[in-house]
Chains A and B, each alone.
Chain A
C-alpha cells in the first residue's frame, strides 16, 4: 500500500491474497482457501490489473500517489490497529487455552449444507451475482456517442 506505482501495488495485493489463502489452508479450511485462491488471485487481481491498464490513458503525468490528508489516515489506521490489538489482548483469549483438534471439513458436508440448510442464501447470492454482473457490464459499456451538435469543442 505504500508503493508508488500502481502495478507494483496490484502485484503486492495478489501476493497478500495468496498468503491469506495459504493461511486458510493452514487453518484447515480447504474449501475456503481454494475459493479464495480462485476468486481473489484468479479473478479480482486480473480485474484490478485490467482496470489499471484501462485507466492509464497514456498520460505522462505522475501517477496519483498519496492524498494530502495522508498522515491523518495513517494515524487513524494505527489507532484502529491499536484498539483492535488491545481488544484481543484484553479479551482473555490470549491465555493459553486448550486448542481443539482440527475439525474435519469434508467438502461433502459443505455441499450438503449449501443444498439443504443454506439453499436460500445460495439462491440469493446467485441472483445478486447475476445482477452485479449485468450492472457492471452496463456501467462499463461505452455510452452512445453524443450527437455532433451536442459535443462541445469538437470541430464538425
Chain B
C-alpha cells in the first residue's frame, strides 16, 4: 500500500476514535481528549501530504502543523480551566449532569 494512503487511513482511524470518545464519554476531560485526538488526526494528514506531496520544499505543512499544535495547546489550557471552573460550580465533571442551561 502506498504510504500516503496508509497515513491517511491511520489518520481516519484516529479521527474516528476521537469522535467516538468525544461522543460517548461522560467525563468532560475525556471529551476534551477526544477533541485533541481529532486535532492530531488533522495534523497527521498535514504531515503526510507535506511528505508525499509535490512541493515538500515549501515547508507549508510543517508550519501549519506547528501553528496547529500551538492552537491546540491554547485550546487545551482554556478547556481544562473551563472544566475546573464548571467542576467548582457544579461539583461534577459529568457532562450529562450539567443541565442548568437546558431549556
Q: Which residues of B contact A (CB under 8 A)?
A: 1-5, 7-10, 12-21, 23-27, 29-30, 32-34, 36-37, 40, 43-44, 47-48, 50-52, 56-57, 59, 61-63, 65-67, 69-78, 80-85, 87-88, 91-97
Contact = CB atoms under 8 A, between A and B. Distances in A.
A155 interface: no
B59 A109 contact: yes
Contacts of A78: 16, 20
Q: For chain B, what secondary structure do more than half of its interface residues adopt (helix, strand, loop), or is it mixed?
A: helix
B63 to A, nearest CB: 6
A64 B93 contact: yes
Q: Which 9 A-B pairs have the closest CB atoms?
A: A73-B23, A103-B56, A81-B16, A132-B74, A77-B20, A84-B12, A1-B21, A64-B26, A139-B81
B7 A27 contact: yes
Interface in A15-68: 16-17, 20, 23-24, 27-29, 31-32, 35-36, 39-40, 43-44, 47-48, 50-52, 54-55, 57, 63-68
Interface of A: 1, 6, 9-10, 13, 16-17, 20, 23-24, 27-29, 31-32, 35-36, 39-40, 43-44, 47-48, 50-52, 54-55, 57, 63-70, 72-74, 76-78, 80-81, 84-85, 88-89, 93-97, 99-100, 102-105, 109-110, 113-114, 118, 121, 125, 128-129, 132-133, 135-137, 139-140, 142-143
